[in-house]
Amino acid sequence: MNFRNPAVRLGLLPAGIALALTPAFASAQEAASGTTDLDRISVTGSRIRSANMETAQPVIALQRADIEKQGFTSVADIVQNLAATGSPAISRSDALSSGEEVGGQFVDLRNLGPERTLVLLDGKRMGTSTGGYTDLASIPTSVVERIEVLTDGASAIYGSDAIAGVINIITRKNFDGLEASMYTGQYGQGDGEQQTYNFVYGQTGERGSITLGAEYSEQDEVKAKDRAFSRYPNGRFHPTPTADDANGWSAASNQGVLIDGDDNWYVRNPGAAGTSLSDFHDFSTADYTNASQEMWLQNKLKRRSVFANGNYDFSDNIRGTASVLYTKRTATSQIAGYPYQSEVYGTALSGQSIYNPLGEDANFIRRGSEVPRQTESEQETFRFSAGVEGSFQFADRYFDWDVGYVYNQNKGVKTGTGDLFIPNVQNAVGPSFVDAGGVARCGTEGNVIAGCTPWNPLAPYGSTEAGSLADPALQSYLFLPSHDTYTNTTKVYSANLAGSIATLPAGDLAFAAGYEHREESGEYNPDALLQSGLSTSLAGAPTKGDYELDEFYLEMNVPILADVAFAKELSLDVAGRYSDYNTFGDTVNSKFGLKWKPTDDLLIRGTYATGFRAPNISNMYGGVSQTFDQYTDPCDSSFGSAARNPSVAAACAAAGVPANFHQITSGGATSTGPGTQSYSAFESGSNPELKPETSKTWTAGFVYSPNFVQGLDVSLDWWKIRIENVIAAESVTSILNNCYVLGIEAACNRFERGTSGRTANQVVDVTRTLVNGGYQETAGYDLGVKYRLPELPFGNFVIDWKTTYVDYLEYKADNEAETPVEQFTGWEGNFRVRSNLNVDWSFGDFGVNWGVRYYSGMKEACSYDLDGGRECNLPDFSSSYTLAQPSRKVGSNTFHDLQLRYNAPWDATISLGANNVFNHEGPVMYSQPNSSFSYYGGFDIGRYYYLKYTQRF
């Protein structure tokens, strides 16, 4: 074989690596006769090369031309737009999320979680976080040649994590020339401005090629107060708190709340000095704070990337390849100032403080609105891949081989600001006095606390008086920054061999086999300040661990029939993979695929596969950390099961919970809806005894390409995925329901309730862990229709329509017989139907692309009108997993995208477009799915205009 053959230069990758455009090696007889080599390809989901793209596995392909017709600039947004993807794991509207993954962009298939979707770059694994998340923001769009998504389990081909499917991103290679692009855009409201600049340069010679590129992208934040649906905590229909309902406003007021020994709440009168209680009024709804005013709806993102790849022919049969990628990504998010409650931290305002009008120790609440909390996540990704590949002939057959190495490291720093250092708060609200020079001092005369500035937590927001949070010196003393660090490293050594063993009557008996050694290590180190528990930020212990494994795989394609009646082709694809981990032992997974073409027009396909997901570093070695959980107490007399289920009410009463019990929120006020944040911090941890998840996947479908309608392809696939021994964090709601709703006695020992004061009867302590238990199962259909119309006098039309219908997505949390199976399809961010339609028209140098994105309706638990009304249209809803639960259903949503393009005569392309061209706004969702606001985090937040210019040289 000659590597310098132009057909080979289409982009040879190592043998056995999926999705490489590679040629077949023609036999010596064919070469002598002058026949043309076939272009053979290996498709994601199989490591065997074939002259036919059609496989037993369903694969969605996005070519670069398709990508350029969209208004999205990140790989994650492009993939997230596919109908088969689930809700974003951490959307850019999820400002309250925490952990090392914050700031990244992650995609999962089938709503099974990003840790169950394997991401490849040129057929080789990307690195992950300690939690198993792959950040697609680390891949610059300019380097992408195409994206292929396998919507099928593939552990037998690729190993762990490929339960829901595989996303394979193919980079540009063998590029000749120079291409530079510019993109700029912003929302119609004048915010969220984005700029992207990139270039790609390549040169191809007789023996090799090199491709270089760089990309810079920056997008500004969008403030929650600048959108009607996020301006108020509970959406546009509830803009103010009332005496009966706080409507999500926070009792942790930025006006400062004084609490006396009888639990009376006072707020200082406007303009009053605050030296005596007569300067205060009783706390009322007018003193609540709208935390959304300080929050960002969309975080700020900046990304810088450089990349290079090349190949060199050492001889006609041996080639070296290498690629390098470096990305630095900085994401910044902002939430409201910390809602400080002195009772929680034991830092009462001293009776000897110059700012205490009571003259005795008193608790207080004060939100630090002057110093909103920000998190800046800066991550550097370095990836290096190198290998040697070649071919040889044995017994008149050609074989491909390769050996390779991949090194991928993600290294990051998270800087947090806006949290208070509790010892300094203790000093600042402790005894204080005014010295002879008129300066306020912490401590007492003769025992001054050096560096301390007395704090007046009762000074209202906007005040610049002494002791207020407007004082820069006080801010520096109270608010100390934190710096978390993390490093994740992946190393892969591989060797592969592929070829044909024999020629059967129906074709070649092809195979691919190989060995892979992989090493994973990772650590996440919270700032010492956070580990100490002396900050208002959530305390957490370090995560550190590593593991390694050895794997062997074998795949064979067995041709059974060819060119006979009712079987133009019938073949079987069989694969198996043995994986040996140093943590839990070994596992064997297999896959069987059937491909049958009864006629040239029709392909019938089906697969059965077993798979697994190994526990990741965070699952096994994560330290115990604090969390403020969203949960619903079943004993709550308004929103809990006790409100409508007498047996639950009886169980709560037997446990000593009063009949009129109400859950309180993090601000200390009464909950105004289900699923509110805990008043106290709970704890969650890892489990070193975890075993792998196991899965089974079934698919069956067809592809129909009728000869009598040229350019039409119709595909329909049924799929089903079942995961056993699911690795999952127990939810607080589930633990409480197990106790009170299901009567599981062991669950009642998993939590504690307070005994006195504000926390009396409230859940004050829960320790959650990770467990293997229960199952997760989903099934549905994928429909694809693509039609390239015949050329018409007024241009060319291409119609591409893809739809995913989810029949069900269910989850059982543990192996207890009493635990109900929860149904997620149609609830919150789990859509029953997602559908995308793209219509492209081109005429000469002009083109128009129209895109339609459809999302079916959703349900959620009611927060208002529990007995029925405008916001609770399913008041009598009941099921085995929710019991009696007033619910609401919101309608479907459709977003339209438009792009106009022109190919200029100076070899440039100019594109002008708008995403969400009709400025559609989704419905209010009080459950805040994938978001920190009353809005689904995967929906557009406004009409987005953009201009894109690409110049080729």
User: For 651-700, how does the pLDDT look when each residue is reduced to its tens digit (9 = 90+)?
Assistant: 999 999 999 999 988 767 788 777 777 887 787 778 888 999 999 999 99
Exposure letters 371-402 (e unless 16+ CB within 10 A, then b): bbbbbbbbbbbbbebebbbbbeeeeeebbbbb
How far from the centroid of its chain's Cα atoms is residue 695's Cα? Answer: 21
Contact 357, 275 (CB under 8 A): yes
Task: Check pLDDT > 60 for residue 622.
Answer: yes
577 by DSSP, 3-state: which? Answer: strand
406-415, 464-473, 621-630, 761-770: segment of lowest average pLDDT: 621-630
Q: How far apart are CA 863 and CA 246, in angstroms?
A: 12
**Confidence at residue 571, expressed as pLDDT on a 0 to 100 scale:** 95
Comparing 15 with 265, which gets the higher pLDDT?
265
How far from the centroid of its chain's Cα atoms is residue 271's Cα? Answer: 47
1-5, 111-115, 350-354, 390-394: segment of lowest average pLDDT: 1-5
Phi, psi of 218, rounded to the nearest 5 degrees: -145, 135
Which token pair is 734? 């589930």
Q: Which amino acid is at 395?
A: A
As beta bridge partners, residue 212 has 201, 308
Q: What letter would DSSP give residue 71?
A: S
Q: Which amino acid is at 681?
A: A
Q: Is 428 left (phi over 0), alpha (psi -120 to 50) or beta?
A: alpha
As beta bridge partners, residue 421 has 535
CA-angle at 917, arms to 916 and 919, nearest 5°: 65
**Confidence at residue 50, expressed as pLDDT on a 0 to 100 scale:** 61
Q: How far apart are CA 11 and CA 19, in angstroms?
A: 10
Band the pLDDT of 8: cuts 50, 70, 90.
Answer: very low
DSSP track, 252-267: S-TT-EEE-TT--EEE
DSSP track, 451-496: T-----TTSPTT--STTSTT-HHHHHHHB--EEEEEEEEEEEEEEE
Highest-pLDDT range among 20-24, 244-248, 264-268: 264-268
Task: Check pLDDT > 50 for residue 13.
Answer: no
Phi, psi of 14, rounded to the nearest 5 degrees: -55, 145
DSSP track, 908-934: EEEEEEEESTT---PPP-TT-TTSSSS
Band the pLDDT of 51: cuts 50, 70, 90.
Answer: low
Task: Check pLDDT > 90 for residue 45.
Answer: no
Strands 165-171 and 117-121, sheet pairing: parallel
Task: Work out the number of other CB atoms within 10 angstroms of the CB of residue 261.
Answer: 10
Q: How far apart are CA 453 and CA 474, in angstroms?
A: 6
Largest pairwise CA distance in the chain = 107
Contacts of 654 (CB under 8 A, 6+ apart): none
The dihedral of CA 451, 455, 460, 464: what is its sign? negative
Task: Check pLDDT > 80 for residue 420.
Answer: yes
Q: Is 418 left (phi over 0), alpha (psi -120 to 50) or beta?
A: left
Band the pLDDT of 35: cuts 50, 70, 90.
Answer: very low
Q: What is the mean predicted confidence (pLDDT) over 423-451?
A: 95
Q: What percent of the chain is modeled with pLDDT above 90?
A: 75
737 by DSSP, 3-state: which? Answer: helix
Band the pLDDT of 169: cuts 50, 70, 90.
Answer: very high
Task: Check pLDDT > 50 for residue 15.
Answer: no
**Confidence at residue 384, expressed as pLDDT on a 0 to 100 scale:** 97
Which token pair is 120? 């490849």
Task: Check pLDDT > 50 for residue 763.
Answer: yes
Highest-pLDDT range among 54-68, 616-630, 939-953: 939-953
Highest-pLDDT range among 71-85, 662-676, 771-785: 771-785
Q: How far apart are CA 507 and CA 509, in angstroms?
A: 7
Exposure of 584 by Cβ count < 10 A (0-12 exposed, 13-18 middle, 19+ buried)? middle
Q: How far apart are CA 123 and CA 603, in angstroms?
A: 26
Question: Which residue bears the tokens 């075993």?
Answer: 691
Instruction: Give the full edge-to-edge strand order of the sheet including 280-282.
Output: 280-282, 265-268, 257-259, 363-367, 339-341
From residue 197, give the alpha-carbon distance in Å to each of 216, 263, 576, 732, 950: 5, 58, 44, 46, 10
Comparing 805 with 870, which gets the higher pLDDT?
805
Band the pLDDT of 41: cuts 50, 70, 90.
Answer: low
Q: How far apart are CA 482 and CA 422, in angstroms?
A: 14
**Confidence at residue 729, expressed as pLDDT on a 0 to 100 scale:** 78
294 by DSSP, 3-state: which? Answer: helix
Q: How far apart are CA 132 and CA 114, in angstroms?
A: 8
3-state DSSP helix/strand/coil % of the chain, to nearest 5: 10, 45, 40
Band the pLDDT of 321: cuts 50, 70, 90.
Answer: very high
865-917 per-position pLDDT tens digit: 989 998 999 999 998 888 788 999 999 999 999 999 999 999 999 999 999 99
Q: How far apart are CA 726 and CA 747, in angstroms?
A: 19
Q: How far apart are CA 656 and CA 754, in angstroms?
A: 11
70-79, 255-264, 269-278: segment of lowest average pLDDT: 70-79
Q: Which amino acid is at 45?
A: G
Contacts of 208 (CB under 8 A, 6+ apart): 310, 311, 312, 313
Q: What percent of the chain is modeled with pLDDT above 70?
A: 95
Q: What letter would DSSP give residue 422?
A: H
Contact 769, 685 (CB under 8 A): yes
Task: Check pLDDT > 70 for residue 14.
Answer: no
**Confidence at residue 530, expressed as pLDDT on a 0 to 100 scale:** 84
**Confidence at residue 404, expressed as pLDDT on a 0 to 100 scale:** 97
Nearest to 668 by CA among 261, 253, 262: 253
Q: How far apart are CA 661 and CA 723, in angstroms?
A: 38
Q: Would you mind telling me the total number of residues written for the chain in this entry?
A: 953
From residue 582, give the alpha-carbon distance in Å to each of 105, 547, 551, 611: 30, 6, 12, 18
Q: Which amino acid is at 601?
A: D
From residue 155, give the alpha-carbon distance in Å to each of 45, 54, 84, 579, 675: 9, 20, 19, 10, 36
DSSP track, 772-828: E-SEEEEEEEEEEEEEEPPPBTTBEEEEEEEEEEEEEEEEE-SS-TTSPPEE-TTBT
Q: Which amino acid is at 453?
A: T
How far from the centroid of its chain's Cα atoms is residue 726's Cα? Answer: 19
Nearest to 331 by CA among 297, 365, 377, 288: 377
562-589 per-position pLDDT tens digit: 999 999 999 999 999 999 999 999 999 9
DSSP track, 368-410: -TTS-EEEEEEEEEEEEEEEEEEEEEETTEEEEEEEEEEEEEE
**Confidence at residue 12, expressed as pLDDT on a 0 to 100 scale:** 31
Q: How far apart are CA 870 and CA 690, in angstroms?
A: 46
Comparing 347 with 674, which gets the higher pLDDT?
347
Q: What letter would DSSP give residue 126?
A: P
As beta bridge partners, residue 201 has 178, 212
Task: Work out the number of other CB atoms within 10 angstroms of the CB of residue 629.
Answer: 19
Contact 607, 150 (CB under 8 A): no
Q: Which amino acid is at 457?
A: P
Q: How far apart are CA 726 and CA 357, in angstroms?
A: 56
807-838 per-position pLDDT tens digit: 999 998 777 676 778 899 999 999 999 999 99
Nearest to 561 by CA among 553, 552, 550, 571: 571
Q: What letter would DSSP give residue 174?
A: S
442-494 per-position pLDDT tens digit: 999 999 999 999 999 999 999 999 999 999 999 999 999 999 999 999 999 99
Mean pLDDT (the chain) is: 90
